[in-house]
Each structure stands twice: as C-alpha cells, then as structure tokens.
Structure 1
Amino acid sequence: MALYGKLETDVEMKASAEKFHEIIHKTPHHLSNICPDKVKSCELYEGEWGKVGSILHWHYFFEGKPCVSKRVIEAVDEENNSLTWKEIEGDILKHFKSLRFIIQCTPKDKGSVAHITLDYEKLHEGIPDAHSFLQLCADTAKDIDAYLMGYNNGSRISAKA
C-alpha cells in the first residue's frame, strides 16, 4: 500500500464556473449558510479573503464528527477558475502527513464541471485512502450548485450569491 495518493472526481453542475469559483475563492465563509450540515464556519485567520498565502480556519463535520482545520491558499487562477488549498493544521492531519485540495471549475455549454483533486501523503500504511474526504468535497460542491441555482432539496430558495 502506497503512502502517497491522488484522488480525483468530477461534479456536474448547472451553475456557472465563475459563480462557483467566486464562492469557494472569495466567500467560503458563506458555506456555513449553504451547507450547515458540512461546514459550521470558515473564518479568516491571517491575510485577506481569496489572497494567496492567506490562512482560513474551518470548523466542519466529517463522518458525523466536528473537526477543525487550518488551510493556506497556495494558488489561485482566476482565468481557469482554479483554487489550491494546503492543509497546515487540524484533525485530518492525524491521518495524513500532507493534504492538498485543488478545485477547478470548467464551463460547459450548459453549466460547468467542478474537478476536485486531493493529493496526500498518509502517516502510515494502515490509513485508508481519502475517498470519504473526497466525497465530502464533492457533496459540498453539489450543495453550492444547488444554492447558486436557487434550489435546496428540490424546492426553490432565494440565492444570494
């Protein structure tokens, strides 16, 4: 079993790539309103919202448990709607030596596709791959899409993004 891993998934969305990118890049603190069952809060710990080098402090739920995280924004590509975060502190690092999230949203004829990549190094071979964490990211992307399209569990809501 390898210690290094890379997992990827695509999430088909009805929302535009630009709107999705804007939420995760510039206003991730709104995620607690968009998907409160997954994200309790996202606060600016250091720097400026959306700027490379800024650190965000997250309170989130993973596998039914409250967790914390500090992530630094490593890269932003506005033209390609891409954002890279690196985990620098928190509960997930009890299992992983390193974890990097790359989210790129590409426009399609109708809607967009969010491509989510997790690059990681496990602390030891007994740690399972990060499939459940990737699923959390994909489910969060689906919630953002529903919010941007004005739907929540199939019923129309007021989208404020």
Structure 2
Amino acid sequence: MALVGKAEVEIDIESSADKFYDIFRSRAHHIPNVCPEKIQGIDVHEGDWETPGSVKQWNYVLDESAESVKETVEAIDEENKTVTFNVLEGDITKHYKSFKSILQVSAKGNGGLVKWTVEYEKLKEDVPAPDKYLDFAVTVSKDIDAHLLKA
C-alpha cells in the first residue's frame, strides 16, 4: 500500500464561478459566517487574506470533533481560478506527513464546477485516505454555493 496519494472530487455549483473562487481567493474570513457549524473561525497569522505565502489558522468541526489546521497559501493562479493550500501544522499532521489541497473553479453554464484535489503522504500505511476531508470540502462548498445564490 502506498503512503503517497492523490484524491479528487468535483461539485457542480449554481452560483457564479468567479464569486465562488473569490471567497477562497481573498475573502475566506466570510466562511465562518456562511457555515458556522462547520467552520468556527479563520485567523491570519502572517500576511493577509489574499497573498501567496500568507498563513491562516482554520478552526473547524469534523466528525463532531473540534480540530484546527494552520495552512499557507502556496500559489494562486488567477487565469485558471486555482488556489493551492499547504498544511503546516494541526490535527491533519497527526496522520499525514504532507497535505496539500488545490481548489480549482471553472465556469459551467450559468454556474460552475468546483474541483478539490488533495495530495498527501501518510505517516503510516494504516492511515486511511483523506476521504473525510474531501467530504468536508464538498459540504462546505455546497454551503457557500447556497449562500452565494441568496446574496
């Protein structure tokens, strides 16, 4: 069994691809207001809300447990509406040596397509694939989509 892996999930959204991308690109501080039962808070530790290299700490609830993660915005690709996040520390690092998530948003009809990709390296072979994190990304993405449709 491989320790290094990659997993992906795609979600159709009804809201504007540009608006959805902008939330993760430069307005992540709004996410706790959109889905407070999942995301309790996001704080900037270094940099700002929209510059590569900035460091943010996310406090969230996963499987009814409070968790946190400190991540850096590794890269932003405006043309392809892609943001790459790299985990520095937190609960995820108890099971994964490295954990990178990539968000890509593209226009599709009147809405869009959200693609989450996770590249990871497990600390041990018996660590499960990060499916619960992808499922979490899907539910948060759906909450954001619903919020944007109301706005």
Find out whether 1:75 has 2:56 as its counterpart. no
Q: TM-score, normalised by structure 1?
A: 0.92
SS of residue paired to 1:51: coil
State the partner residue of 1:57. Answer: 57
Deviation at 1:21, TM superposition (A): 0.8
State the partner residue of 2:2. Answer: 2
State the partner residue of 2:36. Answer: 36
**Count of residues in Structure 1 that have an aligned counterpart in Structure 2:** 151
State the partner residue of 1:14. Answer: 14
State the partner residue of 2:25. Answer: 25
Map Cα deviations across residues 52-83 of structure 1 (whole Å, 9 max, x no partner): 00000111111110011100000001121110
Map Cα deviations across residues 91-124 of structure 1 (whole Å, 9 max, x no partner): 1110000000000000012200001100000000
Gaps of 5+ in 1: 151-158
| TM-align CA RMSD | 0.7
State the partner residue of 2:110. Answer: 110
SS of residue paired to 2:71: strand
Structure 1: how far apart are the matches of 2:69 and 2:89? 6
Structure 2: how far apart are the matches of 1:17 and 1:80? 11
State the partner residue of 1:90. Answer: 90
Q: How much identity, in percent, do the aligned residues show?
A: 39
Structure 1: how far apart are the matches of 2:37 and 2:134? 16
Gaps of 5+ in 2: none
Deviation at 1:29, TM superposition (A): 1.1
Deviation at 1:5, TM superposition (A): 1.0
Structure 1: how far apart are the matches of 2:33 and 2:48? 21
Structure 1: how far apart are the matches of 2:93 and 2:134? 15
Q: TM-score, normalised by structure 2?
A: 0.98
